[in-house]
A and B are shown apart, each in its own frame.
Chain A
Amino acid sequence: MRRSSLPAPARAGIGLLGLLALLAAAAPVLAPFDPAEQLDAAESSRRPPLSSLVVVRTLDREPVLAERVTVNGNDLVLERRSGSLRIPLGSVTNYREDGIAERRRNWLGSDALGRDILSRLLHGSRVSLTIGLLAACLALTAGTLVGSCAAVGGRFVDQALMRTVDGLLCFPHLALVLLLAALYEPDTTLLVLLIGGTGWMGLARLVRAELLRLKQERFALAAAAAGRSPAGVLFRHLLPNATTPLLVDVSLRVGASILVESALSFLGLGVQPPQPSWGSMIADGQSHLTTAWWIAAFPGLMIAAAVLGSSLLADGLSDRLAGLGAGGRGPRRRSPWAIRTWLGEA
Chain B
Amino acid sequence: MIRFVLRRLLAAAVLFLIVLTLAFAVVALAPGDPMAPADPRIPPEQAERLRALYGLDQPLPVQYLRWLGAVALHWDWGQSYRTGQPVAELLFDALPPTLLLAGAALLAQYLLGIGLGLIAACRPNSRLDLSVRVASLVVYALPTFWVGLMAVLVVAVGLGLAPAGGMTSAAAFELGPAAAALDVLAHLWLPALVLGLSMAGDIARYTRSSLIEFLATESGRAARARGLSETRILLVHGLAHAAPRLLQLASVSAPLLLSGAVVAEVVFAWPGLGTATLLAIQSRDIPVVLAATAYGAALVIAASLVADLLLTRLDPRLRAE
A: residues with CB less than 8 A from B are 167, 170-176, 178-180, 182-184, 255, 259, 262-263, 266-269, 279, 282, 285-286, 289-290, 293, 296-297, 299-300, 303-308, 311-312, 315, 335, 337-338, 340-346
Contacts and interface: CB of A to CB of B under 8 A. Distances in A.
B255 A182 contact: no
Interface of B: 15, 18-19, 22-23, 26-27, 30-32, 137-138, 140-147, 149-150, 152-153, 157, 202, 205-206, 208-209, 213, 249, 251-256, 258-259, 262-263, 266-267, 277-278, 281-282, 284, 289-290, 292-294, 296-297, 299-301, 304
A308 B137 contact: yes
B206 A337 contact: yes
A55 B32 CA distance: 46
A335 B213 contact: yes
Nearest to A263: B263
A267 B263 contact: yes
A311 B139 CA distance: 11
Given A172-B19, A259-B143, 15 more contacts: A170-B300, A170-B304, A172-B296, A172-B299, A174-B262, A176-B23, A176-B26, A179-B23, A179-B289, A183-B27, A289-B157, A306-B141, A335-B213, A344-B255, A345-B252
A72 to B, nearest CB: 41
Contacts of B266: 266-267
Nearest to A345: B255
Nearest to A340: B202
B153 to A, nearest CB: 5
A250 B251 CA distance: 23
B205 A182 contact: no
A344 B256 contact: yes
Contacts, number: 154
Given A267-B266, A343-B256, A296 B146 contact: yes
B265 to A, nearest CB: 11
B267 A338 contact: no
A268 B282 contact: yes
Given A267-B263, A300-B146, A307-B141, A183 B205 contact: no
A255 B137 CA distance: 11
A308 B138 contact: yes
B interface SS class: helix
10 contacts: A173-B255, A176-B23, A179-B23, A262-B143, A266-B143, A267-B266, A306-B141, A335-B209, A344-B249, A345-B255
Those 6 A-B pairs whose CB atoms lie nearest each other, nearest first: A344-B252, A300-B146, A337-B209, A183-B30, A307-B141, A174-B259
Contacts of B140: 307, 311, 340
A312 B138 CA distance: 10
Nearest to B147: A300
Contacts of A184: 30-31
Contacts of A304: 138, 141-143, 146
B256 to A, nearest CB: 5
Contacts of A341: 249, 252
A170 B27 CA distance: 21
B289 A293 contact: no
Contacts of A300: 142-143, 146-147, 149-150
Nearest to A293: B153
A132 to B, nearest CB: 13
A174 B30 CA distance: 18
A183 B209 contact: no
B118 to A, nearest CB: 14
A215 B32 CA distance: 50
A172 B292 CA distance: 12
Given A179-B27, A300-B146, A315-B137, A269 B253 contact: no
A341 B145 CA distance: 23
A182 B281 contact: yes
Nearest to A174: B259
Nearest to B137: A311
Contacts of A345: 252, 255
Contacts of B300: 170, 172, 175
A305 B143 CA distance: 11
A269 B281 contact: yes
A172 B209 CA distance: 28
A175 B281 contact: no
Nearest to A13: B137
Contact of A286 (B157, B254, B267): B267
A171 B19 contact: yes
A340 B31 CA distance: 37
Nearest to B267: A286
Contact of A338 (B138, B206, B262, B289): B206
A185 to B, nearest CB: 9
A279 B278 CA distance: 16
Contacts of B32: 183
Given A290-B153, A296-B149, A304-B143, A338 B256 contact: no
B220 to A, nearest CB: 16
B296 A174 contact: yes
A267 B255 contact: no
A343 B294 CA distance: 22
A40 B296 CA distance: 45
A346 B259 CA distance: 9
